[in-house]
Structures are given as C-alpha cells and as structure tokens.
C-alpha cells in the first residue's frame, strides 16, 4: 500500500511502533473520539462527514452509533489514509470516501450532511476560516458541527523550553538544543499549528454562520504524566506528522559525545520511573446550522 507522511505518522511514527506507547495513545484517542461524537448528538439515520478522517478513529466510531440507514463519508487529504479506511470498511455500504482538504470540500454537495466532525485537523490548515465555511455549506439546516483541536499556541507560550516537561540539570543544555528544533519551526504566526487559539475557533464558527456555538476549553500546566519509559522507543516518536522524531532531532543538533551523554542520563531517568510532565491545552467546539 502506498503511504505518505500523514499515514506513516498515524501507523508508526506517532508511537514509534512501541506497544506501550501505542496503548497510551489509544486510551487518549478513545476519549477524544467519544467526546466529539457525544457532542454531535447522532441520530440513527444521520449522514456524517468526518473531515480529516485519518485512519478512521471518529468515522468508525460514528458507524458504531448509527443504524442501518446511517451513512459516514470519510474525507481526507491523504489518499493513503483513505485506503486504510476502505480496507477496514470492507463491504459496509454505509461508507463512502472523498479525497479532499478541509478547506475545499467541493466533492460534497451543499446541504447534504447532518453532522460534520473533525479531530486535530485545523492545526494543519492554512485557511481555517475557509474550512469553517465549507463545514457550514455542506450541513443541512439543523445540522451539527463537532470538532476537537489542540491549542498549541498555549504550549508554545508556556513550555517552549521543555522536552517532555523535563528540566534536568545534568542534561538541560542538551534538552534545550533538541527543543529548539521544534520551537523554531513552530513560532506563532509562521505555522498553522500555532497561529490560533480557542477564541479564533469560536470567531470563525460565528463568521461562517453557525448558531449555538459552545467551546469547551481545558489547559494543563506541568501536570505529572506517564513515565519516560523505553527511551530508545521514545526517540522513534514524532510529535506530529510534519516533525522529525525525537531521535532525528537529536541527531540534527547534538554531537556524538552529547548524544551519548543524553542517552545515558535519559536511560537512567527511565529506569527510575521518572515521570514526564504534561503541558497542553485542548478545545472542543460544537455548533448548529440554523
């Protein structure tokens, strides 16, 4: 099967192929899926358009909630991701597939769906306001929009100098060099992943014409999280589809001597069960097409 940066990340680079990290991600993803679908208030015969479906987290979750008269349109910019979804859907006639970016859903007719869902899609869109206008266009009157987005601007402002929340004195200088690889590529105003916050989501929804807009926002600052775990496996993880893995970033900026020093210290921290620390913000938005 052909693949691309988006699908490679979803299938392998998000967890480095490590079973423990994959299980951690799966637990978090299940929460995101259920929160998005709960807010969508699905009816058994609804037509759902899942924009940026990836490998089908939200879309297949929606299928489980729909009846035999329901329908899910899997939409994604990645043809490889759609191939994964097609294979998983098999002969389920409640599924159809559209190869399209969120900002241009021309293949979906006006007023043709009951629900639009997304999860972590707008962070990759340069024209987010256009995406909201497309969501509004394809929804029928009375239709619902339910989306989830990480608010990475918060991370950039509050944890720009921290890798995994660690500020270890022995290797702080090395961690700072690695963090700079990600920070320098994510400055506010230069990257769609960090050029918005929850207030922008609300504004774009209102400007597109939506009513009954609700934003549920949550932020965490330096909250203890899972232990470092297998350091070799964690180095194979990329924080997003467009970023290098941590190991690749380390190779980019550290000398051989520095890499050995960092590996030695991080392995020791992993063996003692040192926790990571989590700083992040998330937003769920739901809205109605009047």
Residue 121 belongs to domain with CATH number: 3.40.50.150
pLDDT on residue 183: 79
Distance CA 192, CA 184 (A): 14
| Residue 160: Cβ within 10 Å count | 15
Q: Determine the pLDDT at residue 7.
A: 87
For 2-50, write each residue's pLDDT tens digit.
458 888 898 899 998 888 888 888 899 999 999 999 999 999 999 999 9
- Cα torsion angle, 97, 78, 44, 214, sign: negative
Range of the domain at 50: 5-288
Radius of gyration for the alpha carbons in the chain, expressed in angstroms and rounded: 20
Given this model, what pLDDT does residue 190 score? Answer: 58
Q: What pLDDT is recorded for position 188?
A: 45
- Selection from 282, 133, 123 nearest residue 192 by Cα: 123
| CA-based nearest residue to 175, from 162, 158, 159, 157 | 162
| Alpha carbon separation from 199 to 72, 157, 215, 221, 276 (Å, rounded) | 29, 16, 9, 19, 29
Each residue's pLDDT tens digit, 207-259: 999 999 999 999 999 999 889 889 999 999 999 888 899 999 999 999 999 99
Does 264 score more than 80 pLDDT? yes
- Look at 87 and 19; give whichever has higher pLDDT: 87
Contact 171, 265 (CB under 8 A): yes
Work out the average pLDDT over 270-287.
94
pTM: 0.92
Q: What per-residue confidence (pLDDT) applies to 187?
A: 56
Average pLDDT over residues 255-280: 94
Question: Hey, is 117 helix, strand or coil?
Answer: strand
140/156 Cα distance (integer angstroms): 37
Residue 55 has pLDDT above 50, yes or no: yes
Q: Kindly state the average pLDDT of the residues 72-101.
A: 97
For strand 95-99 and strand 71-76, is the pairing parallel, antiparallel, or unpaired? parallel
Three-class DSSP category at 266: helix
Pull the structure tokens for residue 225.
């999280």
Instruction: Say what the pLDDT of residue 242 is.
Output: 85
Asked whether residue 133 carries a pLDDT value surpassing 50, the answer given is yes
Both tokens of residue 118? 């997304």
| 128-137, 183-192, 203-212, 216-225: least confident range | 183-192
Mean pLDDT estimate for the chain: 93
- Per the structure, how many domains does the chain have? 1
């Amino acid at each position: 099967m052909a693949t691309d940066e988006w699908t490679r990340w979803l299938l392998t680079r998000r967890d480095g192929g490590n079973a423990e990290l994959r299980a951690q991600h799966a637990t978090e993803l299940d929460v995101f899926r259920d929160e998005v679908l709960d807010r969508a208030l699905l009816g058994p015969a609804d037509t759902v358009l899942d924009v940026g479906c990836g490998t089908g987290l939200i879309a297949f979750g929606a299928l489980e909630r729909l009846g035999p008269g329901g329908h899910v349109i899997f939409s994604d910019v990645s043809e490889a991701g759609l191939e994964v979804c097609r294979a998983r859907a098999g002969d389920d006639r409640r599924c159809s597939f559209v190869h399209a970016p969120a900002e241009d859903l021309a293949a979906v007719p006006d007023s043709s769906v009951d629900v639009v869902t997304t999860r972590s899609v707008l962070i990759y869109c340069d024209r987010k306001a256009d995406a909201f206008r497309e969501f509004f266009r394809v929804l029928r009157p009375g239709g619902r929009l339910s989306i989830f987005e990480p608010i990475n601007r918060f991370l950039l402002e509050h944890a720009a100098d921290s890798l995994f929340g660690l500020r270890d004195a022995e290797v702080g200088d090395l961690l700072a060099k690695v963090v700079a690889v990600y920070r320098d590529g994510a400055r506010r105003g230069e990257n769609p992943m960090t050029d918005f916050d929850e207030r922008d989501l609300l504004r774009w929804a209102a400007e597109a014409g939506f009513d009954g807009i609700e934003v549920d926002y949550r932020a965490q600052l330096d909250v203890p999280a899972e232990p470092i775990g297998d350091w070799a496996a964690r180095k194979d993880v990329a924080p997003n589809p467009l970023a290098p893995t941590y190991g690749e970033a380390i190779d980019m900026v550290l000398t051989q001597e520095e890499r050995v020093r960092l590996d030695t210290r991080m392995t020791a921290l992993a063996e003692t069960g040192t926790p990571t620390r989590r700083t992040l913000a998330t937003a769920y938005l739901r809205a109605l097409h009047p």
